[in-house]
A = this chain, B = another copy of it.
């Protein structure tokens, strides 16, 4: 191992590191006197000490070394911080490089700015303790662990000149999401994509105990990463001077290797999956912090995890220790009399957009280009009359997505994601113009598989979600299709992305990014073949808990409405759009003109299905979702047959948010509109795609809410027939029709008769399916009588 750093460079880099460490400790502890120009007293210390020291010095160490690499090699690099609890370190570094003061001019490069810098941290009205949207240069919130490496890969796709340095914490490395993220290298094409440089930071401990990867043998660790397809480099030690040389030498080596891999791949040689370099940095937790506190080892121990010195008011010795600790960094050698970093140190930082805090890839909205979209109307299924034809909604969407891929092929800023289900979810037309991307071995019989594909399939909803998040936050577009039940795998990632968007929208310098678009298909009502485990419509409930400003939920009832919704979602910014639509052949209701108009409003009366004309209806039959719409209409058809004078109004809801009060969601229609549509006092039989409680919670402020009878998924499922799924949960035409009759006073004398009819129909159904294993022809072949 050579020592690439000159004595001067070594001294300056170490000083820069000390400055970052100093400001990190300062942020955790100080509310004033940031450069200790006065003797440290309790008045200078925050009353509540909040923050995480343990991981911070390592993050700072890496940062200064990456700065050197960026400068020496003019690298376009961003920094993804897995151990994002070390927020002070990222704030300190982006401050030292000048970015922070540009984004937040009140935090200037002087004593006053430094005072504000240290004070704002973990302070009401200030900044969060973790890496967050507020942190320049970040695309990865540091609170919930596990998603750094997938975000890093997402950022690198289609960014050939970008190097994404990704620090992976050894705590984080225990999560499932992170454990499978290492395999992302099987999906990164060195000819087309940028590089990810994973730096596993083995600082040994979590909150209270050692980490797994820090306590396996070197051989196992080495084998693990070779097995994951990397070439691991180990930088291990404790002594700063030695570690600086090791880290610098290693970074030189790995950057050469990355350059070599890319040059070979881009020279026209056959693209093969290389063993990408990665670094294992083993350094002490709380490095340079107090060696011992109250007789307990602290540096290199879990006791450094948060605030190594607490209760400063109660234990005067701790205040002294803090003073000693802070002064050990020798701030007087780092900052001038005005509080500005000395020029020979400031010179270590890159300049302009090469600073990792200012790199536009980490503020992707700056780079975002609108997608070129074909006219979705060109993909219309011809629907001469409602219910006149059958169609597969997602297949129509697939044709549209195919052409989105083609139109944006020159910019290479759109990808389709899904856990091995793009074809099965009937989006397969995309394979006319692209493949699944794969850097594993490809054999002769493989189809639609290549290193150049733009469809990202892996049997991990985590990876799909995380890659897509990274791709979007760096200014690109994407579309994620998933089995409805299994999108719950990423509930918590959805939460964190929603929180990110919610906060990012309040930060002036963060520019809008493309929305995260989900298509949930293979949904609850058509997983009759896969059974109970595959039947769960709860994700939309989960989504609706997040802020109205960032979440949208759409339930298009057929192909043309789906096309309109997909087009709308691909144009939107800063949202999470959840679209639920089936892939099976279904009756089609609206021609494209009607579909577009219907989706523009989000809900509406379907006059062609209603029987009340201008009159007040006996009952409203409302529906949301494709199968519920079909069953609701079949119920209406049955009711028309049985009660020729019945006055029914049929309402279809595409945009669930329209049901909410306008005070709760911007899409919410006014109370007057709501009352006009749903009446003030008539029974509303609402056939819903998901759990009934969702509709109740959306409408509880509406006038007529006590007359809503919601039929939806009641958590009754198994392997059975499609129609039987509806029956088990009482969203079928018979139960719905009966609910209407039960609700209409003037049919009171008919209720018993109709109940008998329904009971007979249901018994016939049950008998038939048990004997034949499929639905009755009159159900399978049912068509809207028009």
Contact = CB atoms under 8 A, between A and B. Distances in A.
Contacts of A457: 208-209
A721 interface: yes
Contact of A180 (B126, B176, B436, B496): B176
A445 B302 CA distance: 10
* Residue of A176, A488, A715, A721 contacting most chain B CB atoms (<10 Å): A176
A177 interface: yes
A725 to B, nearest CB: 10
A446 B215 CA distance: 12
* Residue of A143, A225, A495, A531 contacting most chain B CB atoms (<10 Å): A531
A441 interface: yes
Nearest to A431: B208
Interface stretch (A402-410, A533-541, A736-744): A533-541
A773 B441 contact: no
Interface in A393-452: 420-424, 436, 438, 440-443, 445-446, 448-449
Contacts of A489: 144, 146, 175, 491-492
Given A31-B773, A492-B491, A724 B124 contact: yes
Interface stretch (A42-50, A680-688, A755-763): A42-50
Interface string A194-235: 000000000000111111101111011111111111000000
Given A174-B458, A206-B459, A449-B210, A486 B491 contact: no
Contacts of A129: 529-531, 719
Contact of A212 (B217, B458, B696): B458
A174 B183 contact: yes
Given A176-B177, A449-B210, A697-B697, A531 B774 contact: no
Given A212-B183, A221-B227, A229-B220, A530 B206 contact: no
A420 B715 contact: no
A700 interface: yes
A656 to B, nearest CB: 13
Contacts of A546: 715
A568 interface: no
A202 to B, nearest CB: 12
A141 interface: yes
A596 to B, nearest CB: 31
A786 interface: no
B128 A719 contact: yes
A530 B772 CA distance: 58
B183 A143 contact: no
A176 B174 contact: no
* Residue of A129, A226, A700 contacting most chain B CB atoms (<10 Å): A700
A461 B179 CA distance: 13
A545 interface: yes
Given A123-B773, A545-B693, A770-B125, A215 B438 contact: yes
Contacts of A461: 175
A423 B144 CA distance: 19
Contacts of A123: 719, 770, 773
Given A301-B445, A772-B47, A532 B503 contact: yes
A420 B124 contact: no
Contacts of A422: 208
Contacts of A214: 440
A499 B532 contact: yes
A97 interface: no
Nearest to A85: B530
B491 A531 contact: no
A174 B460 contact: yes
A705 B495 CA distance: 29
Contacts of A485: 144, 492, 495
A718 interface: yes
A172 B486 CA distance: 13
Nearest to A449: B209
Contact of A128 (B423, B459, B706, B718): B718
Interface string A164-196: 000000011011111111010010000000000
A301 B443 CA distance: 11
* Residue of A123, A448, A459, A463 contacting most chain B CB atoms (<10 Å): A459
Interface residues of A, number: 125
B186 A438 contact: no
Nearest to A705: B700
A691 interface: yes
Contacts of A445: 297, 301
A207 B301 contact: no
A188 to B, nearest CB: 13
A145 interface: yes
A459 B491 contact: no
A552 interface: no
A542 interface: yes
A441 B209 contact: no
B143 A532 contact: yes
A146 B176 CA distance: 10
B547 A715 contact: yes
A150 to B, nearest CB: 9
A720 interface: yes
Nearest to A724: B124
Contacts of A719: 50, 122-123, 126-129
Contact of A770 (B48, B124, B146, B174): B124
A769 interface: yes
Contact of A542 (B222, B297, B449, B538): B538
A502 interface: yes
Contacts of A210: 438, 440, 443, 446, 449
Interface in A458-506: 458-463, 485-486, 488-489, 491-492, 495-496, 499, 502-503
A144 B533 CA distance: 6
Contacts of A770: 123-125
Nearest to A141: B533
Contacts of A211: 459
A619 interface: no
Contact of A176 (B142, B179, B208, B717): B179
Nearest to A534: B143
A724 B48 CA distance: 14
A361 to B, nearest CB: 22
Nearest to A486: B144
Given A441-B215, A693-B545, A462 B126 contact: no
Given A31-B773, A122-B529, A538-B545, A212 B186 contact: yes
Q: Which 5 A-B pairs have the closest CB atoms?
A: A143-B533, A224-B227, A176-B176, A215-B440, A223-B227
15 contacts: A124-B770, A172-B459, A174-B180, A174-B459, A174-B460, A176-B180, A207-B421, A208-B420, A209-B438, A209-B448, A224-B226, A488-B491, A502-B715, A541-B545, A697-B697
Given A208-B457, A210-B449, 4 more contacts: A122-B529, A144-B533, A175-B176, A542-B542
